[in-house]
Amino acid sequence: MSFVSLWENKSHKDTKNLCDTPSFSGHRPSVIGHRFPDNGQRTPNNFLRPSVIGHRPSFSPDNDQRTPNNLFEHRTTTNKHQTPMRILILGATGRTGRHLLAQALERGYQVQVLVRDRHKIRITHPELQVMQGHPADRACLGKAIQGCEAVLSALNISRYNDFPWAALRTPHNFLSDVMAGIIALADSYAIRRVIFTSAWGVGDTEADIPGWLRWLVKKSNLRYPYQDLYRTEELLKKTQLDWTAVRPAVLTNFKRRASCRVSLDNTPKPGLFISRATVASFMLDALEKELYVKQAPVISAG
């Protein structure tokens, strides 16, 4: 969630099912960097346009251009593990989560996703396992988290439309409820690393955002996700987990930028915007290099 959702909103459709059997897109290769044949399957027109998943192993979501080597100072192309790290991604059908899923597969991760409607996952990949269920259901969450080493969440609180005063579709405590489940399951499933999207303006950064945005958050239904993100961050601060709360500026659908401004304690002063694709890259870089552990960096376009 970022206050990016000021004007945009991803609706969530409730599912009737409990947890189901996970589905696989194909066999699993044994090493990172294995090249897969082109399956010719295109993604929906509104997903990371106009790229095509599967047309080459080095997938770039920005107009079929390859990712620059200097996307971040700490950029790496693969994780440090001898075998691919297995991660759980929550919110994989959302506008940031789609980038996160695509880039994680590009980097060679084994990815498990828990979604309420598996048909919204249009990517097929040998390293992708899709489970259908509700992330707030701890039985479903437990099945999805099994075997993973880290959890990355791009979940959001949705409204019926993009109008800031529109009624909520998602419970106002949805994000903290899901995080409470992750925390409760972490020890049993040996989870240490949790990275999730919070928002610039949450907690101690409230005074740092522009005044008109601060007014809008306080006066509209945007206040509910901000309040819940604060609760989510506070829950994690009380744990021994290696967590990172990524606080993006206003999210856009622009291309991945070749730079990213990272601000702690409002230094340097954040910019106003950042693309969803850049946020996804930052989250994966933080995972790979073990950056910003127990911190809440604000990120914006450099």
- Tell me the average pLDDT across 193-213: 97
Q: What is the pLDDT of residue 160?
A: 87
Q: Which domains does the chain carry?
A: 3-33+40-301 (3.40.50.720)
- Report the distance separating Cα 237 and Cα 232, nearest Å: 9
pLDDT tens, 32-49? 333 333 333 333 333 333
3-state helix, strand, coil in the chain (%, to 5): 25, 20, 55
Q: What is the pLDDT of residue 281?
A: 96
Q: What is the pLDDT of residue 83?
A: 79
Percent pLDDT > 90 in the chain is: 68
**pLDDT above 70 (res 78):** no
**pLDDT above 60 (res 85):** yes
Q: What is the pLDDT of residue 84?
A: 86
- Higher pLDDT among residues 48 and 282, named by residue: 282
pLDDT tens, 158-198? 988 888 899 999 999 999 999 999 999 999 999 999 999 99
pLDDT tens, 228-270? 999 999 999 999 999 999 999 999 999 887 678 999 999 999 9
Closest listed residue to residue 134, CA positions, set 192, 188, 177, 100: 177
Tokens, residue 92: 């994989």
Q: What is the pLDDT of residue 277?
A: 97
Q: How high does pLDDT run on average in the chain?
A: 81
Q: What is the pLDDT of residue 24?
A: 54
Decide if 33 contacts 79 (C-beta within 8 A).
no
